[in-house]
Structure 1
Amino acid sequence: MEPSEITLNGLQSEVDDWIQTIGVRYFSELTNLAILMEEVGELSRLMARNYGDQSFKADESADKIPSEIGDILFVLTCLANQMGISLQDAIQSTIKKNTKRDFNRHKNNPKL
């Protein structure tokens, strides 16, 4: 059976349900920010080894990259939930802002 697609609102609800039933409670916002930075660091390490000049350690592989991205999304969702921020609204606002700001910027960039 194929997993169903999840919306951003559904993601926020699913993470909240998990926190309430399995995670007991949210960590503080500051703790979750620190965890988010840790997860970004773990992704950065794998990216540097897979796409950069470093080599993998014996217990590392690029296969873990999707898991690290998932960890980042999970913790970011926790933070959004804690602060009452809709990820849907946030990304729509960001796309609108970037579109207005960059409408011709990249088209006219000879480096691209």
Structure 2
Amino acid sequence: MNKLQREVDKLIRELGGYWAPFEMLAALVEELGELSDEMLKFENVKGNGKMENLKEEIGDVLFALLCIANYYGIDVENALLASISKYRNRDKLDGNDNS
């Protein structure tokens, strides 16, 4: 993940730098909407979806999220590992086993 985070940072700097925080948040929300549309298509709720379009939208969401993380200096790998641990411990305490 760190390598990908650095790759995003390099590209953004080549393109002129990061947007303001709330502009990046708006971009993430927009990408989430596009992902939602593709999921609806893929699940045959709203047309027919294609795996390639679904992959593209997931990539766009990740890109937008990495931009926000980079802007704030957050190591996404550590953040994700902390979240995994949090969910693992919470689900153990609740007696849920979702594996």
Per the normalisation by structure 1, the TM-score is: 0.79
Picking from 58, 64, 68, the partner of 1:69 is: 58
Counterpart-to-counterpart distance in 1, 2:45 and 2:82: 36
Would the aligned equivalents of 2:42 and 2:54 in 1 still touch at CA under 8 Å? no
Instruction: List gaps (5 residues or longer) in structure 1.
Output: 1-7, 108-112
> Aligned to 2:87, what secondary structure does the other structure show?
helix
Over 6 Å off, 4+ runs: none
User: Number of residue pairs matched?
Assistant: 96
Picking from 3, 16, 22, the partner of 1:24 is: 16
Instruction: List gaps (5 residues or longer) in structure 2.
Output: none
Which of the two has higher C-alpha Rg? 1
C-alpha RMSD over aligned residues? 1.6
Is 1:85 aligned to 2:74, yes or no?
yes
Over residues 34-69 of structure 1, what are the superposed CA-to-partner deviations in whole Å (9 max), with x where a residue is unaligned? 00010010010011122142224xxxx423111111
Aligned to 1:5: none
Aligned to 1:3: none
> Alpha-carbon deviation of 1:74?
0.6
Q: Would you tell me which structure has more helix in proportion to its own residues?
A: 2
Counterpart-to-counterpart distance in 1, 2:96 and 2:69: 30
Over residues 50-108 of structure 1, what are the superposed CA-to-partner deviations in whole Å (9 max), with x where a residue is unaligned? 2142224xxxx42311111111111100000001111011011101111110023136x
The residue type equivalent to 1:93 in the other structure is: A
Identity of matched residues, %: 37
